[in-house]
Structure 1
């Protein structure tokens, strides 16, 4: 990685791509619970509410943009805290695991309840475990790897 912004961009785009592909593959292709379009519309509904489900391809695109924006915010945050949190420097797998859980906590216990005040309660079941594992392997680990790679080469 040549620069700080390139590192953040690469880690955010990688994490965002892996995360959305995993969600579509698992929930749409394997489990047949929804469609790729509905996944992206539900992301867009964080901003556009119910209009996201009737806006067609435009809302799918907005959902994808919002998804990548969120991934880039988490990549930026990890990049900024990396030099100050010794745990993150010790082991990519441990830091990716911890950061994936952190992302799940932020999204599911802070962001989503603020955006959608009437969410159903969370049950400790297979869908919950799958959602945590997706964030660990598709957000936490890629961001940890790319960021550590940058800092290792530049410090």
Structure 2
């Protein structure tokens, strides 16, 4: 715990860890719900297939576990980087909700245009509707939680009027 202005506040790494757990879980739940015609296990096997290829779909719980691990690893990493960079983004963009959308857009680009194409999943055709839904999910599950928690952390809960 750190003391800021006489108040006890959790340390940065603790806040990042809890924020990462929140964003990763929200995004995992959204992935499962948006793939409603597919079992949750298959969603995570798909993620695992990025490393293990088609063998992931023939696997059992170990591939589901690997998919969950990779999902949390990627989402935690994105959360940690965005949390640390938040003060720079807010200075430039001036509005936390614009920053949330920006973070979601960057997260989408990183995952869909860098990580997935470089994985064993490879490049796949994307429909505009799926892109819009995916970005909307990331705004809600990644962008907003990060900026709301980071703003409160960095600015001691004082949500500045000009940023609201």
Contact 2:49 2:121 in 1 (8 A): no
Which stretches in structure 1 are left out of the alignment for 5+ residues?
none
Task: Count the aligned residue pairs.
Answer: 149
TM-score by length of 1: 0.87
TM-score by length of 2: 0.82
Contact 1:18 1:138 in 2 (8 A): yes
Task: Name the residue aligned to 1:23.
Answer: 31
Tell me the alpha carbon deviations over residues 82-115 of structure 1, each in whole angstroms, 9 at most, x when there is no partner. 2223146x33321111100110011111111111
Is 1:145 the counterpart of 2:148? The answer is: yes
Q: CA RMSD in A?
A: 1.9
Q: Secondary structure at the match of 2:33?
A: helix
Shifted more, 144-153 versus 36-45: the winner is 144-153
Task: Name the residue aligned to 1:54.
Answer: 58
More helix as a share of residues: 1
Task: Name the residue aligned to 1:41.
Answer: 45
Q: Structure with the greater relative contact order (CA < 8 A, sep ≥ 6): 1 or 2? A: 1
Which stretches in structure 2 are left out of the alignment for 5+ residues?
1-8, 158-164
Larger of the two Rg values belongs to structure? 2
